[in-house]
Structure 1
């Protein structure tokens, strides 16, 4: 069941969050092709070539942003990612083939473990944990996991179906922390004040604790190829889109030490599959066809080849940063 769209109140947002410079219009009139949130949306890009931040202007106001999630995938609506039996079979074959042929097995394994494969299990908090799938995987690897969500529907699923403890409410309302790892997977692009969120994450970490952030890469090969149809844009839920350089800068502003940021092409298959030409995509239509699956395979191959020569072209940025404190 799809909940009827309700107009989303907005606020102006013409200057770059990261450096304060003016932005130039990159795309106009974008619509939510994924979950049918109402409105037409404009994206700006920072005029400073050293920054590269992309953002919504105007953007949903803080007290209105929830309307953009009425039909979101964490609410279990049946129109998300529907695909025929043959599309599932072809995708399983082609995706597995691409991983093996392109030598991505190790990268895929590391990605599934959110790059904690060489870190001893401890206490892990996932911010904006969605349906809890990732937390369940990390729990199976020996981590003591905890989720945080502001969406009560998603929270109920994590607690009752996954059996994972969860804090329902804004991240800043978690009073005690001492986590070894705080994870944000495709969350930071959804928030109005990314540095404030990173500062809260730092507060919740132990000394020498680790922050892990995954987010779409505004400088990816997919963005250059698909343009306004790139899956990573996702208006109006993605308020900011970052580059590796900008993420590093924000981590430093939030007080983290020695941030390291790189990109990965491992998700290119899904990006290619979910970035159909604008003329072919109906708003709210989530059906995956064999043509989509084949486009995903072809894009995974192309993106992996580009990545060999341009390590900043991956579809996602990965940020890791430590909390260093001075002993008393």
Structure 2
């Protein structure tokens, strides 16, 4: 199905599904069908979900995902390295205001640009990345990166962390509650988890519906609002310390690529577009800091 072909299906009765944020079975209503996937929403907490039982993240997140090979990936991740590093450096400074140093683990670390910036700032870093080519490039930078998905074995091999970072990652995870529980177990008592994800409760998300820029199934499996993130965190012994909607410097090539996707056109990244960044804030992406809740 073409990405722009959306069928509204509000006439179906609600179905009962296990909600990872509510930690119990709750009624879910069908919002619409997009890219052949049912998009449902928990009536209790507002968490949106993509029904994609055959989705295979290890097959999906290949080198093409980072180089314009897929309509909902990146235009040219490596080509935009300078811009990405600048933005990642700003995130490192944000983290240092809360944790000046220590062991930092990034989930979904791609080519290692963020980890390298954190290492330069004095953190002891490691990462987990499912895409083989990206993980190999991070290894070439001298970074300790495990290729694969979040698992007990991978986390055990990397040890506990003072800071765990998930930048636009949690919405990709097949089971966010299980993954966050594993991360909480490997977080040191005074550590923090910093994550960014789309805000499904934002004005932009609510007003554009199926055409929201982050409504890209099957890549995005979950659509969180602040309430559902808080409930998910609470279910694994974490609490929200802070949340905001930060500005980001985004490569012009990525903006053009995403606009082209929404218009049904493929726009190839150019070296010029990779070098320039535009400050963007549609207030539909949130940054959340989590810590362990007191016993």
Aligned residues of 2:162 and 2:191 also touching (Cα < 8 A): yes
1:114/1:14 Cα in 2 relative to 1: closer, same or farther (>3 Å)?
farther
Q: Does 1:280 align with 2:263?
A: yes
Structure 2 CA distance for aligned equivalents of residues 251 and 197 of structure 1? 11
Which of 20, 28, 47 is 1:23 aligned to? 28
1:96-175 mapped onto 2 (5 Å cutoff): 111-113=90-92, 115-118=94-97, 119-160=99-140, 162-171=141-150, 172-173=152-153, 174-175=155-156
Matched, 1:223 2:217: no
Instruction: Give runs of ≥4 in structure 1 deviating > 6 Å.
Output: 268-272
Q: Judging changes above 3 Å, is the alpha-carbon distance between structure 1 residues 265 and 274 closer, same or farther for their aligned structure 2 residues?
A: farther
Identify which of 153, 162, 168 aligns with 1:186.
168
In the alignment, structure 2 segments of 5+ residues that lack a partner are 1-14
Distance change in 2, residues 1:60/1:122 (3 Å): same
Q: How does 1:60-99 map to 2 (within 5 A)?
A: 60-61=53-54, 64-70=56-62, 72-74=64-66, 80-81=74-75
Distance change (3 Å), C-alpha of 1:167 and 1:60: same
Q: What's the CA shift string for 1:278-302, capped at 9, x where partnerless?
A: 77223xx24369xx9xxx97x947x
Please state whether the residue corresponding to 1:159 is helix, strand or coil: helix
> Normalised by the size of structure 1, how large is the TM-score?
0.67
Structure 1, residues 183-228: CA drift from partner, whole Å, max 9, x if none?
A: 1111111112111111111121222111111111112233234432
Give the superposition deviation at 1:61. 3.6
Q: Larger % of strand: which?
A: 2
Shift of 1:230: 2.3
Measured in 1, the distance between the counterparts of 2:123 and 2:164 equals: 12
Q: How many residues align?
A: 259
- Aligned mate of 1:254, from 231, 236, 245: 236
Q: Which whole-Å CA distance do the structure 2 matches of 1:217 and 1:264 have between them?
A: 9
Highest CA radius of gyration, 1 or 2? 1
Q: Root-mean-square deviation (CA), in Å? A: 3.6
1:84-136 deviation line (CA, Å, top 9, x unaligned): xxxx9xxx9xxxxxxxxxxxxxxx79852273131211110101111211111
For structure 1, which runs of at least 5 residues remain unmatched after alignment? 1-12, 31-39, 83-87, 93-107, 304-313
Q: Residue 36 of structure 1 corresponds to which residue in structure 2?
A: none
Distance 1:251 1:78, change over 3 A: closer
Q: Is 1:196 matched with 2:192?
A: no
Distance 2:160 2:201 in 1: 34
State whether residues 74 and 153 of structure 1, in contact with CA within 8 Å, keep that contact through their aligned partners in structure 2.
no
For the residue of structure 2 that corresponds to 1:231, the secondary structure is coil
TM-score, with structure 2 as normaliser: 0.73
Q: Partners of 2:42 and 2:96 in 1: how far apart?
A: 35
CA drift of 1:81 comes to: 2.1
**Pick from 50, 56, 74: which aligns with 1:56?**
50
